[in-house]
Amino acid sequence: MAILSKISRISFKSLAQNCKNSYTTLRWMQKPISRSTILKTWRICGFGTGLAAITFRKASCAPKISSKRIDHLRKEDQNASMTMWELWELIRPFFGWFFAAVVCAILSAYINIQIPLCLGDLVNGIVGIIKDETKNLRSHFEQLKPSAMHLMTMYVAQSALTFLYITFLTILGERMATKMRSDLFAKLLHHDMAFFDSHKTGELSARLNVDVQEFKSSFKLCVSQGLRTFAQTIGCIGSLYFLSPTMTMYTVAVVPGIILAGSAIGAGLRQLSRRAQAQSATASAVSDEALTNMRTIRAFAMEKLESRLFDSELDKARSMQEQLGIGIGIFQAGTNLFLNGMILSVLYGGSNLISKGEMTPGALMSFLVSAQTIQRSLSQLSIIFGTAIKGWTAGGRVLEFSRLEPSIPIDTGVCIPYHTLWGDIKFEDVSFSYPTRPGHNVFEHLTLTIPAGQVVALCGPSGEGKSTITHLLERFYEPKSGRVTLDGRDMKELNVEWLRGQVIGLISQEPVLFATSVEENIRYGRPDATDEEVRDAARAAHVDEFVSRFPNGYSTVVGERGAQLSGGQKQRIAIARAILKNPPILILDEATSALDSQSEQLVQEALNNVMKGRTVLVIAHRLSTIRSAQLIYVIKDKKALESGTHEQLMAKKGSLYRKLVEAHNVDS
């Protein structure tokens, strides 16, 4: 019954009617096309073309800039595309799942091709019953059984295969997306600092999450539907040829033209999709920046302005996505028009052939259902095409950052054995500019020595490059010329992971904590430290004093970037972390600047204990910290202008150091 009802749904009645009234149909078909019909059709086509032209014209215009603050966020992802080889590289690790999904999808398509042919057999049987003049209906009905059973088996197999390919594809898609995300994150963690200087956190997190998600769903859709419908289309064209070569030739003759037009529209849509996605990323970056700077926004009462800024970026993204939607809509509407025209031609031509006795009703039924399968497949393909464009761009955006290789690889190079490491540091004729500002030299021929086991202080006016010296030491950046050496070895030869992980400890001006407990933040200095070692470090850095007053003690969660702690408390936790790490070289970049003088004295005592016997580089503004250093460098005019002890520099007539102290540029 189900089969029969399905047959009736796919226009069996109208077909039977057609057979009987083929001459009536033919008469209708042969009616001359009136002038008004042509004009109407022309107007509709003109409207569609006009809409398409407006869409593409609007899309190719650059968005208007509403705020200069976010100008730097507007960049087009020129490299955001993907090659077939890169796609293959993504699939390769999961080829087994891919292969299984493809086989199931193709088998399912094969069955879909066979179904119309079986339907044709069944219809011929039914037509036989209708036309039977002996009225031996029972025996005719019995003859229908094998065809019906065959069709039933096809339907069951088709369902089972559909279940299988969807399952395999889900597994494949999820694993690919997880790998893409994990690879991109690992790559991002290894990228140069210069990369982070020029990319926003929001943009990176959009690539890591939104784009991977988009790629995954598009990929799944394209493989499941795309492959099946493509195979179905090819197979059904074969079936059509088998049923009626003449009609098939007429039906598919226009396909190459349609493919060419589709490719041209596709290129435009791809470009538009890239723009729309870049604009969405800009909007995310604006919201991300606002959410991470909430306190500043509150302090300046900028809620409304930020909201307007976000709305305007969002609006541009919406408008571009709408234009993309209209573009895809026009493409799909055009495809549907073409496909429906194809069905109409089949009916027209088929009726003609039946009227001449060159085709049986069953063959026309098979032809019609196969043509309908092609129609469904092609209109499905046009939807898939739109999705593929989005997925391709999203995949390209993910790969754009995965392709980049860091200029400072972190896991190659040599390690100096611990017992032979002295900690003697030299800057030899170093010139440097930040990669994001290549025209501005921070140093020109800087030469200075930080002798092993000594405390060396850097002082000088703000913005002269004191922190930059620590960045070069940590190898966050490479010098443009000259070299930085550790125990006589060029830093470039050394293993960066070893250098940062085991040799140098950095306590920076603005320590950033993770949104976890105090204990885990301290343990970040040495993940394998015992609880007792963590507590000892905390006591040495005077963390114990304030943490013991918290209801949850060391389990207190510190909030995002340590927002639930004071600046001084954050610095003490950062110091505890460095004490736990116990590195041979310590860099203190205004490490105690957020402490009051009493806490500073306490922490300084703790630091003095840690500093003993190590090479220490201190950047400080307080005279009390600077004067205790064994060697002081004054950094100014892209060089180390003066060096000596506090006493030597103060005794030197007209020394810059003395001027700085006297002008309170070095706090007393």
Ligand X SMILES: Nc1ncnc2c1ncn2[C@@H]1O[C@H](COP(=O)(O)OP(=O)(O)OP(=O)(O)O)[C@@H](O)[C@H]1O
Binding site for ligand X (CB under 6 A): 197, 434, 436-437, 442, 462-468
State the nearest-atom distance from the C-beta of 259 to ligand X, in Å: 50
CA dihedral 305, 306, 312, 314 (to 10 degrees): -160
Outline where 582-667 has alpha helix (H). 597-611, 623-627, 646-651, 656-662
Phi, psi of 251 (to 5 degrees): -65, -45
**∠ CA 210-216-218 to the nearest 5 degrees?**
100
CA distance 333 to 327: 10
Q: Between 7 and 442, name the residue whose CB sits nearer to ligand X.
A: 442
Q: E strands of 18-100, at which residues? A: none
The number of beta carbons lying within 10 Å of the beta carbon of residue 272 is: 24
* Beta carbon of residue 509, minimum distance to ligand X (angstroms, whole number): 7
Alpha helices, DSSP H, located in 201-302: 201-206, 212-221, 228-243, 245-252, 255-292, 294-299
User: What value does the CA radius of gyration of the chain take, rounded to a whole number of Å?
Assistant: 37
For ligand X, the closer CB: 377 or 470: 470
Choose between 589 and 600: whose C-beta lies nearer to ligand X.
589
The CB-of-440 to ligand X minimum distance in angstroms stands at 7
- Whose Cβ is closer to ligand X: residue 353's or residue 442's? 442
> Counting Cβ atoms within 10 Å, is residue 321 exposed (0-12), middle (13-18) or buried (19+)?
middle
The least distance separating ligand X from the CB of residue 435, rounded to whole angstroms, comes to 8
| Length of the chain, in residues | 668
154/617 with CB nearer ligand X: 617
Nearest alpha-carbon partner for 434 in 424, 443, 423, 425: 443
**Token pair for 249:** 């030739």
By beta-carbon proximity to ligand X, the closer residue of 197 and 429 is 197
Amino acid identity, position 46 = G
C-beta closer to ligand X: residue 379 or 468: 468
567-581 and 531-540 helices, crossing angle to 10°: 130
Give the nearest distance from C-beta 567 to ligand X in angstroms. 15
- Measured CA to CA, the distance from residue 371 to residue 346 in angstroms comes to 8
Best CA proximity match to 316, nearest among 52, 57, 50, 65: 65
What residues contact residue 640 under an 8 Å CB cut-off, 6+ apart?
446, 447, 448, 633, 634
By C-beta, is 197 or 493 nearer to ligand X?
197
Bridge-partner residues for 425, per DSSP? 450, 486
We find the least distance from the C-beta atom of residue 434 to ligand X, in angstroms, to be 3
CB 568 within 8 A of CB 630: no
CB 172 within 8 A of CB 94: yes
**Nearer residue to ligand X within complex by CB, 587 or 611:** 587
Q: Which is closer to ligand X, CB of 289 or CB of 464?
A: 464
Q: How far is the CB of 593 from ligand X (least distance, A)?
A: 10
- To ligand X, the closest distance from the beta carbon of 511 in angstroms equals 15
Among residues 402 and 508, whose Cβ is nearest to ligand X? Answer: 508
Q: Specify the residue, 197 or 531, whose C-beta has the smaller distance to ligand X.
A: 197
Q: CA–CA distance from 481 to each of 433, 445, 448, 500, 641 (Å)?
A: 10, 8, 15, 22, 19
Cβ proximity to ligand X, 81 vs 665, nearer residue: 665
Other CB atoms within 10 A of residue 75 CB:
13
Q: How far is the CB of 314 from ligand X (least distance, A)?
A: 30
CA 109 to chain centre: 32
CB of 640 to ligand X, least distance (A): 12
Residue 244 phi, psi (nearest 5): -155, 100
In the complex, least distance from residue 635 CB atom to ligand X, rounded to whole angstroms: 6
**Residue 592 Cβ, how far from ligand X at the closest point, in Å?**
14
End-to-end CA gap in the chain: 98
Work out how close the CB of 633 gets to ligand X at its nearest, in angstroms, rounded to a whole number.
Answer: 12
Q: At residue 486, what are phi and psi to the nearest 5 degrees?
A: -120, 120
Cα torsion through 296, 297, 300, 303, rounded to 10: -170
- Residue 250 in contact with residue 345, Cβ under 8 Å? yes
In whole angstroms, the minimum distance from the beta carbon of 476 to ligand X comes to 9
Taking the least distance from each CB to ligand X, the nearer of 280 and 433 is 433
Q: In the complex with ligand X, which residue's Cβ is closer, 245 or 567?
A: 567
CA–CA separation, 374 and 291 (whole Å): 50
Query: Taking the complex as a whole, how short is the minimal distance between the CB of residue 437 and ligand X, in angstroms?
Result: 5
Place of tokens 């007792």: 532
Which single residue is written with the structure tokens 């302005």? 305
Alpha-carbon gap, residue 385 to 301, rounded angstroms: 46
